[in-house]
A and B are shown apart, each in its own frame.
Chain A
Amino acid sequence: EPEVTQTPSHQVTQMGQEVILRCVPISNHLYFYWYRQILGQKVEFLVSFYNNEISEKSEIFDDQFSVERPDGSNFTLKIRSTKLEDSAMYFCASSGGGGSSYEQYFGPGTRLTVT
């Protein structure tokens, strides 16, 4: 069964450093997403991406965040200057086209710890 993969599973970084989180969506999917979940809190939408551009983003997704699809398979989230409050689990998701275009499938997540 096709699945979304994410690397690394855990990233530790110092405050102020840049991090790149990587995702490989399901191969025939067209829509890609990033979410975050701070420990003990709800899943929060960050951004959706389609046709090589941002489709929608939340208030959380400010100038320190960026997304990219550098090749035909990877989808990345960059955080330019990490803050302590960026510590969270980051989930990538993808959804396909057609009638089930809205059903999202999530990767296992990257746990980001900012020290």
Chain B
Amino acid sequence: RKEVEQDPGPFNVPEGATVAFNCTYSNSASQSFFWYRQDCRKEPKLLMSVYSSGNEDGRFTAQLNRASQYISLLIRDSKLSDSATYLCVVNKPPGTYKYIFGTGTRLKVLA
């Protein structure tokens, strides 16, 4: 099993649609989880941290399921500007400051 696994996509969705991505991780001892977005040839930009209780930021909602070892990202009311690659990031135990990136899920929002 890969350390961090994501469906590469692409997910092609119309504007206004709701889309969800999942990411699975292999190490049950991982404690830190994040979603980043990356535009082509640009740096990753932090979208949100993922907490055990789940968290929401505007149109974006992240959830953590420790039992099944996955995190999810839900984007509501998709905008053209949401088109990007979404990266799942998890710390690699026993390290706290050592991180594994998923390969990313590509999203294309269509007009």
Contact = CB atoms under 8 A, between A and B. Distances in A.
Interface of A: 31, 33, 35, 41-45, 48, 50, 55-58, 89, 91, 100, 102-109
B46 A56 contact: no
A70 B9 CA distance: 42
Classify the secondary structure of A's interface with B: strand
B97 A105 contact: no
A69 to B, nearest CB: 15
Interface of B: 32, 34, 38, 41-46, 49, 87, 91-92, 95-104
Contacts, number: 56
A42 B88 CA distance: 11
Nearest to B101: A43
B97 A42 contact: no
Nearest to B94: A56
B2 to A, nearest CB: 10
A45 B101 contact: yes
Nearest to B42: A108
